A and B are shown apart, each in its own frame.
Chain A
Amino acid sequence: MKQMESHANPTLLADCVFTLTLEQIAWTCTAEPAWICQLVDEAILNPSGTTLADWRFSAEDLARARRAWRLHHELDANLEVLGLMLDMQDEIERLRARLRCV
């Protein structure tokens, strides 16, 4: 491994519970806010709040939005089937975990 910044590395506290606005989640996914709105329309993301301005996205929404972004850009997945793909991935993951263990 290359030289690390090991000198006086302070411990950083990770923030587990946070919410993001529409602008923030779009920014961190490097997506347009309009694209995020489409994910909400497709019920792929489920923000709290009623108007665009007070939508708040959870950490779970962020994880899903990033997976959706990857499938959309790397496999050219249609928005209409993205939700189904994500749900099926979750199910496959659960089944694989069961195969590994009990």
Chain B
Amino acid sequence: MEYKDYYKILGVARDASQDEIKRAYRKLARKYHPDVSKEANAEVRFKEINEANEVLKDAEKRAAYDQLGSRWQAGEQFRPPPDWDAGFEFSGAPHQGGQAQDFSDFFAELFGRRTRHAGGAQRRAAGQDHHAKIMLDLEDAYRGGTHRVSLRVPEIDASGHLAYRERSLDVQIPKGVRAGQQVRLAGQGAPGMGGAGDLYLEVQFRPHPLYRVDGTDIYLKLPVTPWEAALGATVKAPTPAGAIEVKIPANSQSGRKLRVKGRGLPGNPPGDLYLTLDVVLPEAVTPRARELYQTMAQELAFDPRHSLGV
């Protein structure tokens, strides 16, 4: 297990006041909150920051952590001294607010001993619900299908110690799920006297190289030739459910949007597919191609800059 330098994570001195810690936490939390941040590693950083704050904001935990001394380096292999937390009693549950936060093994080892139950989490005997995210490809929403989901589940063992356990489930995701949607697996949360809790999975799509998803609609940039755009044509376009044929109206320009009804995400009603035309010019690399362009230049009276007044 690696030692974690909570002061370094929050960027404060070891003798920082509680106010300084609070301010440092707020600033970093705003920067790295996964719902807000555009930083690539936001989620990982946010967990770290939250964990550091969980310890340093709490006088008991901070005192216990300080007792380990300052000689440890972040990342160094760490094993707590056998009697390190003697005399400390952590009154809060490790998961403040009942939200099963994904803290590190280092945290679990140091603060995972529950001496008293937290009121909130134990207010009724039913098992707690668990929440996790599942990443799918856009195509999965069209097909449905079975996915293996790996979860890291916090558990209190027989000696009252918090530990994390890997758990994997095969889950059949129905057709037509949307980004941000919650799907429920009844009875797959934490066990409890009054029945197990439920497991909720939040569906997210991996970014797709071709399609952009907005609600139930999907968007695709469709390259067309100048003559398809000018004369009109029926061309093939891909969709996550397979290729379709689309009619390009004559005299279309780059950027023209075509709506293909009902070819977005499946559902009731299904979403639509929007194609944005992108006119691509053939390169003038052969003598024949140059000749054709020259003919157009001579025979078509066309000035696209007319409206610019030049």
Q: Which of A5, A10, A59 has the most chain B CB atoms inside 10 A of its CB? A: A59
Enumerate chain A residues within 8 angstroms of B30, measured Cβ to Cβ: 75
Q: Evaluate contact between B33 and A74: CB separation under 8 angstroms.
A: yes
Question: Closest residue of chain A to B134, judged by CB?
Answer: A14
Enumerate chain B residues within 8 angstroms of A89, measured Cβ to Cβ: 35-36
Question: Closest residue of chain B to A70, judged by CB?
Answer: B35
CB distance from B269 to the nearest CB of A (A): 15
Q: Evaluate contact between B38 and A75: CB separation under 8 angstroms.
A: no
Q: Evaluate contact between A97 and B214: CB separation under 8 angstroms.
A: yes
Q: Evaluate contact between A27 and B186: CB separation under 8 angstroms.
A: no
Enumerate chain A residues within 8 angstroms of B165, measured Cβ to Cβ: 2
Q: Does B120 contact A (CB under 8 A)?
A: yes
Which of B131, B184, B213 contacts A66 (CB under 8 A)? B131
Question: Closest residue of chain B to A73, judged by CB?
Answer: B97
Q: Considering the chains assembled together, what is the distance between the CA atoms of A102 and B254 in angstroms?
A: 12
Which of B172, B177, B181, B200 contacts A13 (CB under 8 A)? B172
CB distance from A65 to the nearest CB of B (A): 10
Q: Which of A1, A69, A74 has the most chain B CB atoms inside 10 A of its CB? A: A74
Q: Evaluate contact between A16 and B171: CB separation under 8 angstroms.
A: no
CB distance from A21 to the nearest CB of B (A): 13
CB distance from B152 to the nearest CB of A (A): 9
Q: Does B238 contact A (CB under 8 A)?
A: no
Q: Evaluate contact between A74 and B200: CB separation under 8 angstroms.
A: no
Enumerate chain A residues within 8 angstroms of B211, measured Cβ to Cβ: 101
Which of A12, A75, A97 contacts B169 (CB under 8 A)? A12
Q: Does A62 contact B (CB under 8 A)?
A: yes
Q: Which of B120, B128, B169, B211 has the most chain A CB atoms inside 10 A of its CB? A: B169
Which of B33, B97, B166 contacts A75 (CB under 8 A)? B33
Enumerate chain A residues within 8 angstroms of B99, measured Cβ to Cβ: 30, 69, 73
| Given A16-B176, A28-B200, A9:B168 Cβ within 8 A | yes
Q: Does A60 contact B (CB under 8 A)?
A: yes
Contact with A along B95-114 (1 / 0, CB 8 A): 00111000000000000000
Question: Closest residue of chain A to B205, judged by CB?
Answer: A97
Enumerate chain B residues within 8 angstroms of A71, measured Cβ to Cβ: 33, 35
Q: Considering the chains assembled together, what is the distance between the CA atoms of A76 and B57 in angstroms?
A: 15
Q: Considering the chains assembled together, what is the distance between the CA atoms of A29 and B103 in angstroms?
A: 19
Q: Evaluate contact between A63 and B202: CB separation under 8 angstroms.
A: yes
Q: Evaluate contact between A100 and B183: CB separation under 8 angstroms.
A: no
Q: Considering the chains assembled together, what is the distance between the CA atoms of A16 and B302 in angstroms?
A: 55
Q: Which of A9-61 contact B (CB under 8 A)?
A: 9-16, 18, 27-28, 30, 59-60
Which of B33, B180, B214 contacts A63 (CB under 8 A)? B180
Question: Closest residue of chain A to B213, judged by CB?
Answer: A97
Q: Evaluate contact between A10 and B170: CB separation under 8 angstroms.
A: yes
Enumerate chain B residues within 8 angstroms of A66, measured Cβ to Cβ: 131
Which of A4, A5, A12, A30 contacts B188 (CB under 8 A)? A12
Q: Which of B261-291 contact A (CB under 8 A)?
A: 276
Enumerate chain A residues within 8 angstroms of B26, measured Cβ to Cβ: 75-76
Q: Which of B116-159 contact A (CB under 8 A)?
A: 120-121, 124, 126, 128-129, 131, 146, 150
Q: Evaluate contact between A16 and B167: CB separation under 8 angstroms.
A: no
The contact sample of 7 A-B pairs, CB cut-off 8 A, is A1-B166, A14-B184, A15-B186, A73-B97, A73-B99, A75-B29, A97-B214
Which residues of A does B touch, CB under 8 Å? 1-6, 9-16, 18, 27-28, 30, 59-60, 62-63, 66-67, 69-71, 73-76, 89, 94, 96-98, 100-102
Besides the known contacts A71-B33, A75-B36, A101-B219, 20 further A-B residue pairs in the complex with CB atoms under 8 A apart: A4-B166, A4-B168, A5-B167, A9-B170, A11-B172, A12-B185, A14-B184, A14-B185, A15-B184, A63-B180, A70-B33, A74-B50, A75-B26, A75-B30, A89-B36, A96-B38, A97-B212, A101-B212, A101-B221, A102-B221
